[in-house]
Structure 1
């Protein structure tokens, strides 16, 4: 689709050039920028466009565009917002996902931008209503219902007893006091989230000067605060046991319908199986799933086609009174996970980085011609080859080799020599940011047997339990190790074969040749790393095809030693190969050979000259993190829900969360989680990899870290704006936040610190027994 700036509204020029939010209100069918100081203030009679720009690790931007429609906005304003959203997307290169947001039925993604909630005010620009700041208004008693464990949907309801029920959280805002009424069927997480709304109301409507009271459903007049609450309703009376009306609108389980936009009309498409090949790149489609509607626009469609598709979708919603349906619009190649999951199969998304960069370049050029700043639009953050390890490298390391169902402690001189047929357990203690940290990990060689892998996990889990779950646990596979593993071992050698009983038994039973490393035999090692604190020698097949121009190698046959220097290597690589010679074969002099100047003896040892690669071996890169709340059902199924725009406060003490960074994942377990679930943390991580919620082709061998609340290492906390004091608090998430709201956080923290001191004293005694166990 060609992009023209001639008709683009001036208010959109230069938008989306930097990370953050930009908001416009529709005034007289034009987008007018909203001042930053007014972000989060919405009026019921208005329509808004919200642009969220996210700077990604790869250097590009992701854009999400939401158009929010107040319940009293006019149909003309709503239609204008929908059309302008399409134009804004075109100006950004046609890669944004567009969301239709109705007041009271907003997506969780939108709500996550305006934490803790959106509380629209009466009035609007078209009504001529003269907006008055809320703290200037005469205070009126209001009753709100709050729903949601992760983000809160807040809705004002009539101030009457009949509005209350046992399932929800209610906030009663009076002139001098705010009451939170917790329905008996509501969960702790919902209660904790509602307290954030109470804090918002206190700060926004009371300038932070009013009392706060928590009322539990079922407590009668004997409780002073409960009595005061019920007195406002004319006295206590039992609430009826009625089932809450969810007001979710359309059936979320409705059978999917696919319709094609053709000359302004929607034409249904019949299909036996919903597959990707039904979508043509020169057309627009609507996928109707009941509570969710998706508008898909092929990359070859025109701006006019896309506007027409948007108008047709709006008309369908109006004609069918689909007031509660969420509508998402997207361009081919930039589909959401939710959309792709509706199809029986979806092919791997091609690498669109080049085309998107090219598209952004065209947009930037057009903007620049108009004299606008395009610096942010073209900015691309450089990628570093080796990520920061975020771990102290001067700690204490112990390593065990797994033998059957037992483990054998290795001498310090042997603990950096691994065999690909074996499994290992390592324990690394080091000084963290504000406390001593402990990492207990398992490493599985590519040729190790399944029985010893299971044994390694079981033994390591017992070590974590012995440490009162205050150690971080890691599961690593050969070839998939994160940077933290390499900097802990600093100089690592990985040999062929194995020494464990499990590997030896497997070789004997299968009749295979044991190719275990021998100093007197022929061996070829690839040297890699980024410095003396992170270098590895990996034994590979001793054939010419194992060579790579981007690496240095060590070759020996027991009598002679060669170092081979690839043409694409650096002086650092040359230094590393010299360092690794001492670990591999220090008793013989070596001969250095540059690529292209090899001796006959060298090729003779490798069998013959063969073609080989010149490209660096690619490792999975860390991507932008995604946080998921996870529930493991009794039947073993894992249910996940993404938490958008997450913060530390989203980590609820009663729950388990997975932080997905693509190259590795973290399983975070709250203090209030059931003890049995804590022991299943690694299982939850493995099930998450199988589920692959983001459809990123996650490897089953992706590194898994398990982290317990209160013992989070910096490799985890760096993804948050972290407050260590919060992780030291004890009690439920609701108790903690209520204490903070009432000003008792310091007291609660003192109690928590006393508990920590008590636990630490107990652990000193326990560590003696633990060392005996190890």
Structure 2
């Protein structure tokens, strides 16, 4: 257990304490608590100055800003938000203070102090975020859907007058989701790396320099940004420059480019992953810690309570807590009964904790208050239930006549017309389509005949193909993995899924189902009559045909509707009983339905579906001697009422996944829309009880191959301690079911028809230049992968082998040359060199010192 005491030196210099009782700054007086708004202020001469709306999305490195976002809970806010009074429904309030990399302690201190003051004006219920340049939160980025700029200078450097004369500028474009355009200190090769895209603004041309390892989305963002800058600065042309191919530019463009970035001084570093949050995200997700804060002893003490998973019940409203997510963020939670001093100083103390732990200075720190927690805080907990929280759809519908009416409306056409209902219920349709089932026995696929549909064995794996019309024909491939099945059978099943999907044209939705985590639609296929027996089906084979299971068994009935019910084979003894459930007991020709005292009428109705016509219904406490004899005698069992209603409603979360470096990386997208589903990406939609993997048509083979592994890693490292076996569904772009599209408002099936990949966008821009200068671009095949190797200057590659960089193969140094350097040494391009005999290649490499 760790205990930290915070002292004066642990606090930020110039970080004054705000007060909820101080007079509110005049800049905040028009902020109304019951009105949605998105506002930004800048700290100028230690004063809060409103920023004109036409400057929203532009920040300066020397400055500090305050950003205020008020919206209805769960709805987006941002630069295009409209202020309006809300009379019904709750608002959520977020106040961010953003600190430029060169902002002084005085400015950042005023921004922090005024954030507390604005929060006090709102009644102390806002979530406060400390944001630093280059490490902005997902929520902050979500306010600027078209990205934002970070320019050098600020109010104390005369940037307002800098626009009178043209300035040669260099920008780096970073961010797959929200493009961040950052101005570098100067125009120099020192800032270049081959993993990013850079814009060089000159009076005649905007050069878009494309790193060889830059991703397609960032290239597209950079091209669009170049068009905007071209219009703003009245620059005639845009020219694209490929990393390592600078000398292939036409003479006029090369001469202009060489003025500002001399090619003889070219030095481009390998891809820079320092700003990538992926590895850090993985780190914090698996190492969350909870601390309690106190100052009873006269010193502010932070005491470790536990390591995750953590629960809502771990928080006492009389205390203040810190949730430590490592270098990826610190959350401080303030209980309702905490003192005003603790409330106003909580963020300051959390910053002291960051210093005490020696975390990076740019570590995000966020303060939340009891009863007004944002979604991204709640999902860190294994369970979280808001007051008067609505129950899930599984609790809404009942069986009997009501159920029949409700289920009848779950047909495919209705669900496509009402995707929000499909998303909530996770029902694609009512399960009345065509169903085929196969059992996987090593490499063999054995069809399960229709009379046996719905009977599964925990030692086996199954392949299920479901076909329905909605309105065109759709296919879903479920693959069910028994809890006692072998890894070999599971591997063969996955392989058969891939083969079947190829046969279906690669458009089928693929759903991985682990025993015990069957999704609603899977259960609906069997109308609530799915049975899972222990062992393998082969154990019950008679005369070469599968029986309907063991002759003596006890089934626990789970669920209360056709899309939640199933029967699970448990040990036939009294200790398997539980007062919260119904059970079906079969012994020879005797059938019983045992009803626990806390079971519902709906559960009892579903239990009848697992039994024949002749049976006895027994209520708990009124069992017959024959029942106890058939179950093996009386005994103790669980009689406590189940208080876990499983009614927690979690909002869906969207993540962009990247495997560019070979490791799992993820970036969350707040307030997502369909526009965030970009064909170049693989996306992960976390619907809490289901994980969707969306495969963009232009995503890479490597990303697609690792999507399932990525989803598994995400679940295994979830700080909420969620079960790693919930269903994982793979969806191809253009084949989205309503259970997925319902999470996106105003879904349009024709949305991607106008999407242009980077190369097409580039060709259009090059065709609109006022002076058209064409050049031949060399594109190497995937077989050579020449451009995929890290590039180094000639003098480094011609050094002795013991001085070579680690990633350079001493026998193939030529692959680490840029195209331009390769041509200058060998007087041919790599494609021509590659076609030469090996002896000739070695001879040429010896002549230039690369052998």
TM-score of Structure 1 vs Structure 2, range by shorter chain: 0.5 to 0.7
- Matching residue within 198, 204, 207 for 1:170: 198
- The CA deviation string for residues 292-344 of structure 1, in whole angstroms up to 9 with x for no partner, is 785857758644356557568889999xxx9973441446999999999xxxx
Give me the TM-score of the superposition, normalised by structure 1.
0.67
SS in structure 1 opposite 2:492? Answer: helix
What displacement does 1:494 show? 0.9
What displacement does 1:408 show? 0.9
Contact kept in structure 2, 1:16 and 1:51, CA below 8 Å: no
What displacement does 1:399 show? 0.6
Asked if 1:195 corresponds to 2:195, the answer is no
Q: Give the whole-Å Cα distance in 1 for the aligned partners of 2:135 and 2:255.
A: 30
- Matching residue within 516, 519, 523 for 1:482: 519
Structure 1 match to 2:434: 396
SS in structure 1 opposite 2:489? Answer: helix
SS in structure 2 opposite 1:421? Answer: coil
Structure 1 match to 2:65: 47
Q: Give the whole-Å Cα distance in 2 for the aligned partners of 1:504 and 1:594.
A: 31
Contact kept in structure 2, 1:470 and 1:711, CA below 8 Å: yes
Contact kept in structure 2, 1:105 and 1:324, CA below 8 Å: no
- Cα 1:614–1:680, aligned 2, differ >3 Å: closer, same or farther? same
Q: Give the whole-Å Cα distance in 1 for the aligned partners of 2:516 and 2:767.
A: 50
Q: Give the whole-Å Cα distance in 2 for the aligned partners of 1:381 and 1:675.
A: 41
Structure 1 match to 2:726: 702
Contact kept in structure 1, 2:455 and 2:548, CA below 8 Å: no
- Matching residue within 411, 431, 435 for 2:449: 411
- The CA deviation string for residues 633-674 of structure 1, in whole angstroms up to 9 with x for no partner, is 89x853444444444454555554433333232333444455
Q: Give the whole-Å Cα distance in 2 for the aligned partners of 1:620 and 1:464.
A: 35
Q: Give the whole-Å Cα distance in 2 for the aligned partners of 1:676 and 1:155.
A: 30
What displacement does 1:401 show? 1.5
What displacement does 1:426 show? 0.6
- Matching residue within 147, 163, 173 for 2:174: 147
- Matching residue within 720, 734, 737 for 1:713: 737
- The CA deviation string for residues 659-710 of structure 1, in whole angstroms up to 9 with x for no partner, is 33332323334444554664444333333333x1x41213232222223344
What displacement does 1:214 show? 4.4
- Matching residue within 445, 466, 485 for 1:448: 485
Gaps (5+ residues) in structure 1? 341-347, 358-378, 506-515, 745-774
Asked if 1:238 corresponds to 2:269, the answer is no
Asked if 1:684 corresponds to 2:710, the answer is yes
Q: Give the whole-Å Cα distance in 2 for the aligned partners of 1:742 and 1:597.
A: 84
Q: Give the whole-Å Cα distance in 2 for the aligned partners of 1:116 and 1:99.
A: 21
Give me the TM-score of the superposition, normalised by structure 2.
0.62
- Cα 1:242–1:179, aligned 2, differ >3 Å: closer, same or farther? closer
What displacement does 1:565 show? 4.8
SS in structure 1 opposite 2:425? Answer: coil
- Cα 1:619–1:239, aligned 2, differ >3 Å: closer, same or farther? farther
Q: Give the whole-Å Cα distance in 1 for the aligned partners of 2:44 and 2:635.
A: 74
- Cα 1:192–1:94, aligned 2, differ >3 Å: closer, same or farther? same
- Cα 1:622–1:239, aligned 2, differ >3 Å: closer, same or farther? farther
Contact kept in structure 2, 1:667 and 1:705, CA below 8 Å: yes
What displacement does 1:730 show? 8.8
Structure 1 match to 2:561: 530
What displacement does 1:525 show? 4.8
Contact kept in structure 1, 2:583 and 2:607, CA below 8 Å: yes
Asked if 1:67 corresponds to 2:102, the answer is no
Structure 2 match to 1:180: 208
What displacement does 1:203 show? 8.4
Asked if 1:384 corresponds to 2:393, the answer is yes
State how many pairs are aligned. Answer: 672
- Cα 1:27–1:616, aligned 2, differ >3 Å: closer, same or farther? same
> 1:195-594 residue pairs with structure 2 within 5 A?
195-198=223-226, 214-217=240-243, 227=252, 231=256, 238=263, 240-243=265-268, 302-305=339-342, 307=344, 325-330=362-367, 353=385, 383-385=392-394, 387-392=424-429, 393-432=431-470, 436-501=473-538, 518=549, 520-526=551-557, 528-531=559-562, 535-548=565-578, 550-565=580-595, 568=598, 572-578=602-608, 580=609, 584-586=610-612, 588-594=613-619
- Cα 1:568–1:657, aligned 2, differ >3 Å: closer, same or farther? same
Asked if 1:156 corresponds to 2:183, the answer is yes
- Cα 1:236–1:60, aligned 2, differ >3 Å: closer, same or farther? closer
- Cα 1:99–1:740, aligned 2, differ >3 Å: closer, same or farther? farther
Gaps (5+ residues) in structure 2? 1-17, 76-88, 281-286, 396-423, 542-546, 769-851
- Cα 1:309–1:565, aligned 2, differ >3 Å: closer, same or farther? closer
- Cα 1:55–1:196, aligned 2, differ >3 Å: closer, same or farther? farther
- Matching residue within 653, 661, 667 for 1:626: 653
Contact kept in structure 2, 1:548 and 1:615, CA below 8 Å: no
- Cα 1:276–1:703, aligned 2, differ >3 Å: closer, same or farther? closer
Q: Give the whole-Å Cα distance in 1 for the aligned partners of 2:239 and 2:442.
A: 59
What displacement does 1:411 show? 1.7
- Cα 1:314–1:613, aligned 2, differ >3 Å: closer, same or farther? closer
Q: Give the whole-Å Cα distance in 2 for the aligned partners of 1:485 and 1:740.
A: 47
Larger relative contact order (CA 8 Å, sep ≥ 6): 2
Contact kept in structure 2, 1:60 and 1:380, CA below 8 Å: no
> 1:604-623 residue pairs with structure 2 within 5 A?
604-606=629-631, 607-608=633-634, 610=636, 612-615=639-642, 623=650
Contact kept in structure 2, 1:562 and 1:592, CA below 8 Å: yes
Q: Give the whole-Å Cα distance in 2 for the aligned partners of 1:237 and 1:27.
A: 39
Q: Give the whole-Å Cα distance in 1 for the aligned partners of 2:303 and 2:436.
A: 63
- Cα 1:742–1:53, aligned 2, differ >3 Å: closer, same or farther? farther
What displacement does 1:396 show? 1.9
Q: Give the whole-Å Cα distance in 2 for the aligned partners of 1:628 and 1:485.
A: 25
SS in structure 1 opposite 2:113? Answer: helix
Q: Give the whole-Å Cα distance in 1 for the aligned partners of 2:211 and 2:504.
A: 38
What displacement does 1:425 show? 1.0
Structure 1 match to 2:130: 100
- RMSD, matched Cα: 5.9
- Cα 1:564–1:248, aligned 2, differ >3 Å: closer, same or farther? closer
